[in-house]
Chain A
């Protein structure tokens, strides 16, 4: 080992260590922000290490510098712009988009490495051409699926794509199997030396990514994104085999494995298995046939004024936020309402369902943005026993996560999903735009209960009306 090798080795080792510490730190509230910066630093370090190594050995041609600078500038610029400008509510889509581009990067490198071999080992035949081709194929396959799947997921979350009915037919599995088999055939051709089959592999795996993601309902998208995130780690590890870099393999493998764990955690939160998420199709499409017990019989609707009067008399209020709150961007208005209540000595707590919103932690981020104290956010298991001792529950744009069907109705597709027991409270106000169903498309039995009142309207509008009503009642005027 000569000097550049040793330096590169030490830097790589240090980068892996810092990345591991970064991922670990990201899983704790206290250290998360520093850990993120640490991981970013480790990435920078790895780039510096790589560049220094080639400067010290083979040198970097001027032409290469030019392309490196162009690529880095354009990529970083657009990445920064998007990251700074995107609203907090669109986080899931943004992560999906970033993830898709990461997959695209692995895909392109693998195509490049195949068409214009640059790895000395592969060129000189040290590395079995067979193994080199397998690494390239895996990188292309996983990279393409990650890219097309993430883009579909993003388009669905943005509302650009719906879940068309024809995607729910059983034949879709057959079509996907064809894509899968085609990929496999292309893979075999490629290994046996048929160069042009690389394009077949690219096309078939791209279509497979679309075919698998398209039928999945919007409610399951977070799980899909988490899974695709894990794939992009695998794609990175495969690219590591192509360019013979241990650092790439370790980092890719870590992300791949950590992503799998996270996916599992999310599935648990919704009480669904990964298999049923991936192959079960959209929940709403099933429910139209299975639970047709559909009509509401006993809806009580009430005015904002009544809601304000009840709130004024309460001692303890629990707020259940959901995606509707995020869509209406009503978190700041909500905070104003709860501030008024708190000034009147009313205890306010926020009940956070693990999958409220479109992604775990979505509500926490949203409420933190509105300066809600961290200790007022309570997780489901902690807050559930507190509902019977609660006077008023405000359900804001949440639906499926407060559906008692999940506990009582064995025929319901939601059955078994852990939910918030809001119906145990004395009064429940559901602030909702209309009677439409939640993301699962299932009727919510909560709305029919005698202690539930519906307040119809956009969350932000209702909440600001609530503020003026509370003001008229003299709440929070001390």
Chain B
């Protein structure tokens, strides 16, 4: 991919992000932030690429591995914590006032 098409990708991705969340009920602000945060751990793909392409015995293997660890900490932890928060909302509302 050449640079200018990547810039287009960047631009369109940003516009998509701006459009995606228009109205968010305040209830969901924290989970949304946490979920989006988990997605930002997508840098794990960059870390994976680095490890795969590293020369044998290159320090890049270790750097990539640490980077992958940090990214997965973000991704896995982020999704679990978001799910924990959301699990509380999805519970059936308890009986109303009698």
Contact = CB atoms under 8 A, between A and B. Distances in A.
A361 B31 contact: yes
Interface residues of B, number: 90
A364 B27 contact: yes
Contacts of B10: 237, 249, 253
B84 to A, nearest CB: 7
Contact of B30 (A54, A245, A249, A365): A365
A104 B67 CA distance: 7
Contacts of A250: 9, 12-13, 16
Contact of B36 (A64, A119, A131, A233): A233
A101 B88 contact: no
B72 A251 contact: no
A90 B43 CA distance: 25
A235 B39 CA distance: 12
Given A240-B46, A246-B6, A104 B70 contact: yes
Chain A binding surface SS class: helix
Contacts of A236: 40-43, 46
A70 B63 CA distance: 12
B79 A40 contact: yes
Interface string B2-26: 0100100111111111101111111
Contact of B48 (A51, A266, A365, A369): A51
A225 interface: yes
Contacts of A232: 37, 40
A359 interface: yes
A250 B42 CA distance: 10
Interface string B42-82: 11111111111111111111111111111111111111111
Contacts of A379: 25-26
B20 A64 contact: no
A262 B3 contact: no
A185 interface: no
A98 B77 CA distance: 7
A325 B91 CA distance: 22
A466 interface: no
Contacts of A360: 26, 29-30
Given A109-B50, A257-B14, A68 B68 contact: yes
Nearest to B63: A112
Nearest to B80: A83
B18 A79 contact: no
A375 B13 CA distance: 36
A343 B91 CA distance: 22
Contacts of B57: 63
Contact of B74 (A88, A101, A118, A131): A101
Contact of A237 (B13, B50, B68): B13
B27 to A, nearest CB: 4
A252 B16 CA distance: 11
Given A116-B58, A258-B20, A347-B97, A359 B73 contact: no
A251 to B, nearest CB: 4
Interface in A187-241: 225-226, 229, 232-233, 235-237, 239-241
Contacts of A91: 30, 34, 81, 85
Given A83-B81, A262-B32, A245 B37 contact: no
Given A91-B85, A352-B26, A105 B98 contact: no
Contact of A60 (B37, B40, B52): B52
Interface stretch (A31-39, A167-175, A279-287, A440-448): A31-39
A72 B72 contact: yes
A359 B33 CA distance: 10
Contacts of B6: 240-241, 244, 246, 249
29 contacts: A19-B39, A39-B38, A40-B38, A43-B39, A51-B48, A76-B73, A79-B74, A91-B30, A94-B77, A95-B81, A101-B70, A105-B67, A108-B66, A128-B3, A233-B17, A235-B40, A236-B40, A244-B1, A246-B6, A250-B9, A250-B12, A252-B40, A254-B17, A259-B33, A360-B29, A360-B30, A361-B27, A364-B27, A373-B96
Interface of A: 19-20, 22-24, 26-29, 32-33, 35-37, 39-40, 43, 46-47, 50-51, 54, 58, 60-61, 63-64, 67-68, 70-72, 74-76, 78-80, 82-84, 86, 88, 91-92, 94-95, 98-99, 101-102, 104-106, 108-109, 111-113, 115-116, 118-120, 127-128, 131, 225-226, 229, 232-233, 235-237, 239-262, 265-266, 269, 342-343, 345, 347-348, 352, 354, 359-362, 364-365, 368-369, 371, 373-375, 377, 379
Which 8 residue pairs of A and B lie closest in terms of their CB atoms, listed nearest first? A257-B17, A79-B77, A253-B13, A75-B72, A71-B68, A360-B29, A75-B69, A83-B80
